[in-house]
Amino acid sequence: MTEETPAALLDPARAPTRDGVLRAVAKVAAILPPTPLLPLEVDGRTLWCKAECLQPIGAFKIRGAWHRLSDLTDDQRAAGVVGVSSGNHAQGVAWAARRLGIAATIVMPNDAPKAKLAATRALGADVVLYDRPGGEDRDAVAAALIAGTGRTLVHAFGDPWVIEGQGSLAIEAAAQLHAATGATFDSAIACCGGGGLSAGIALALPDARIFAVEPEGWDDVGRSLASGSIQRVVNPPPTACDALQTPATYPINFAVLTARGVQAVVVSEGEVRAAMRLAFARLRLVLEPGGAAALAAVMAGKVPVGEHTLVTLSGGNVDPDQFAAVLTEAA
């Protein structure tokens, strides 16, 4: 399956590869059943929606976390891991760490949804809060926790294992589509924060057009792709899409996205809420705002729909009161 040596596979400075995605597929399949690939008719076209909100942690992030932690050496496992996350990656790392007997500390924003904070702690991880609204740098907080301890950083998107693990979603979906229709995906639409999922899908589906969808004002990936260099968000507005609030993508993600010609669009808060309502009404699924961004882009006509389009429903970890308010909001 791969020509890479064991040493190369364990090099944290390596680039993610499609062979790595295929290796992640096998590892994820050994511990988790496939999530459903659901057809959704929209304007005479069938969308194929990958319901990652039905993962054990309620989000696709379990894939990258498992691929990363299960490749740690014995010494690395003994030292423990540190993650940075707004909540979904946090739960993925905590879930994998508990299963593997690894101590995990997660740096999370103080304004993270209560459900995500509670779930991460319930999975046994230690949570260290940082001041996201005040502009505190989560990577600096994580670096301070790691310094001199031997612990391994498990970044939410800027990591080759994490990118490959997230890409397993698309390989799994492609197999499901082929089994159902005999077809292959011609396009894929991904919810996008730092670009881990988008980069993983870009590696997994080399012949498909890839679209990354970000919240308005948090379009660091889109502006980076447009300018040809990594751009940070500047004075971003509040957003309900907490899972997609990243100040800037990483070079490892940017390299994959650029090489594959990934395109990016933005969606509004209202478009996201409309997509959450649609998913609940038509698919009977609970989506968090960030997990509905890809579907929102389709419903708003901001991305083209091919004959066989993959849409990621990437997470469903939303506070109940927030979700109820979205459902009862006048369209």
* pLDDT tens track for 209-220: 999 999 999 999
Identify the three-state secondary structure at position 131. Answer: coil
Category of 214 on φ-ψ map: left (φ > 0), alpha (ψ -120 to 50) or beta = beta
pLDDT in tens, 96-133: 999 999 999 999 989 888 889 999 999 999 999 998 88
pLDDT score at 115: 87
The per-type count for the chain, helices as H runs and strands as E runs, is 14, 10
Q: Which residues contact 299 (CB under 8 A, 6 or more apart)?
A: 42, 271, 274, 275, 278
The full set of domain ranges for the chain reads: 6-60+163-328, 62-154
Listed residue (84, 85, 296, 269) closest to 190, CA to CA: 296
- On the CB side of 109, CA atoms within 13 Å amount to 19
Q: How confident is the model at residue 331 (pLDDT cuts 50, 70, 90)?
A: low
Question: Which of residues 150 and 94 earns the better pLDDT score?
Answer: 94
Instruction: Tell me the C-alpha distance between 4 and 38, whole Å.
Output: 35
Q: How confident is the model at residue 58 (pLDDT cuts 50, 70, 90)?
A: very high
Instruction: Report residue 148 as tokens.
Output: 């001199």
Question: Which of residues 331 and 39 earns the better pLDDT score?
Answer: 39
Q: How confident is the model at residue 323 (pLDDT cuts 50, 70, 90)?
A: very high
Question: Which of residues 180 and 12 earns the better pLDDT score?
Answer: 180
* Domain 6-60+163-328 shares a fold with domain 62-154: yes
Q: What is the mean pLDDT of the chain?
A: 94
pLDDT score at 8: 66
Q: Which residues contact 11 (CB under 8 A, 6 or more apart)?
A: none
Q: How confident is the model at residue 1 (pLDDT cuts 50, 70, 90)?
A: very low
The CATH architecture to which 6-60+163-328 belongs is 3-Layer(aba) Sandwich (3.40)
**Tokens 């991305």 belong to residue:** 303
pLDDT score at 139: 87
- On the CB side of 247, CA atoms within 13 Å amount to 10
pTM metric for this prediction: 0.94
pLDDT in tens, 241-266: 999 999 999 999 999 999 999 999 99
In this structure, the number of other CB atoms found within 10 A of the CB of residue 2 comes to: 12
Instruction: Report residue 180 as tokens.
Output: 């159902």
The pLDDT of 138-144, averaged and rounded, is 90
Q: How confident is the model at residue 2 (pLDDT cuts 50, 70, 90)?
A: very low
CATH number of 62-154: 3.40.50.1100
pLDDT score at 194: 96
pLDDT score at 94: 97
pLDDT in tens, 284-314: 999 999 999 999 999 999 999 999 999 999 9
pLDDT at 5 over 60: no
Tell me the one-letter amino acid at 191. C
